[in-house]
Amino acid sequence: MARPINEINAGSMADIAFLLLIFFLVTTTMDIDTGITRKLPPPPPEEMPDIKVKERNIFKVLVNSRDRLMVEGKGGHISLLKEQAKAFLSNPNLLDSNSPEDMPEKRQVDIPLFGGDVWVTKGIISLKNDRGTSYDMYIQVQNELAAAVSELRDELSMNKFGMKFSKLSDDEKIKAVQKAIPMAISEAEPEDIGGH
Amino acid sequence: MAKFRKKGGKKTPGISTASLPDIIFMLLFFFMVTTTMREATVLVRISAPEATQVQKLEKKSLVSFIYIGPPLNTKLGTDSRIQLNDMFADVKDIREFVQLERESKDEADRPFLTTSLKVDKETRMGIVTDVKQELRQVGAFKINYSTKKKAIIQK
């Protein structure tokens, strides 16, 4: 006598699927990793040609093992660093004949989008840290310097295109602003700078 | 006329839930595809420093992580150690680690490989500098200092 085969109850299928879903929700990470992106320079060649950079074109930032700053040979503070870096990179009174000696030179660079030649700073920020510097301080300094560059870019971008640099979507415009205000942060070869 | 008369009363039929599992499965597959599994178990304590100028780390499949921080197991001391994959490692192990990472990726993607440094904020720069020098030697130039985003305080 053939009995009719009972159908399997699929009512709990949803519960099983829910269980799986919750498992995946718990085990996966949703947080987006954020960070400061930097590009390391390639290792120096055996015979390092001495690249001469004028003293006035370098903005020296030193961090010692006690997390104290030395900016341009004077004691500095992290809260002032951004403004100092901005003043150095922009050097507004360049064409003034009384321009201070220690401010960086500029050179003319042709950027068609800005209608011809633009004065671009030759300034380089040189960052040196001790082996004993804390990572937190190092990141703070990197952050302030990056903030200085990005604020200058924002200002220029506001001026020329009416929107912030980060909001620009046109590749040409982004390239133009980047060319006008280069991100020139150089990290020295590691060495002990004292302060133990 | 009797042909079309409805049987029984005017009860509204219950909504069929037979397709509910399918809907849930769809959700499930969506999550399975879009999310990444937790990577290596972290053996070191990392509290990332905060910064305002952060960028999102894109293309997570092309990122390899290096963890540096004091070991969670306090028996191992409080000095910062390097962790690669699931083990503690030395600075000289980084070369092999990067090369393995590079080989496991598609050739076309190799130039876009990024190394993310997840470093505890109490760590001294010495060990970080060593790691960076090693990365330079191997040719892994794109790095990312992992930081938390700090809310910008309006002045």
Work out the mean pLDDT of chain A and round it to a whole number.
Answer: 79
From A99's Cα to the closest Cα of chain B, the distance in A is 31
Phi, psi dihedrals of residue B153, rounded to the nearest 5°: -85, 125
Residue A124 inside a domain? The answer is yes
| Contact between A24 and B20 using a beta-carbon 8 Å cutoff | no
Q: Which residues pair with residue B75 across a beta bridge? A: none
Nearest chain A residue (CA) to B130: A190
Residue B1 — pLDDT band, cuts 50, 70, 90?
Answer: low
How many structural domains are present in chain A? 1
Dihedral of the alpha carbons of B40, B44, B45, B46, in degrees to the nearest 10: -60
Residue A45 — pLDDT band, cuts 50, 70, 90?
Answer: confident
**Where is pLDDT greater, at A178 or A4?**
A178
**Percentage of chain B lying above the pLDDT 70 cut:** 86
| Nearest by Cα to B110 from B68, B138, B140 | B140
Phi, psi dihedrals of residue A35, rounded to the nearest 5°: 180, 175
Specify the pLDDT at position A195.
46
Q: What CATH number labels B50-148?
A: 3.30.420.270
In this complex, is the C-beta atom of B98 within 8 Å of any C-beta atom belonging to chain A?
no
The predicted-structure confidence for B122-148, as pLDDT tens digits, reads as follows 888 888 888 888 888 888 888 888 888
Mean pLDDT of B79-97: 87
ipTM for the assembly: 0.73
The DSSP symbol for B113 reads -
| Contact between A35 and B60 using a beta-carbon 8 Å cutoff | no
Contact by Cβ (8 Å): A33, B116: yes
Mean pLDDT of A6-27: 78
Residue A104 inside a domain? The answer is yes
Residue A172 inside a domain? The answer is yes
**B 43-82: CB under 8 A from A:** 49, 51-57, 60, 63
Residue A27 inside a domain? The answer is no
* Residues in A touching B57 (Cβ below 8 Å): 32-35, 37
Which residues, 6+ apart, have CB-to-CB distance to B18 below 8 Å? A10
Contact by Cβ (8 Å): B78, B69: no
Which residues, 6+ apart, have CB-to-CB distance to B82 below 8 Å? B66, B67, B68, B88, B89, B90, B91, B93, B94, B127, B131
Residue A181 inside a domain? The answer is yes
Residue A44 inside a domain? The answer is no
Residue A28 inside a domain? The answer is no
Domain map (residue ranges) of chain B:
50-148
Mean pLDDT of A121-148: 87
Partner residue opposite A28 with nearest CB, options B35, B114, B126: B35
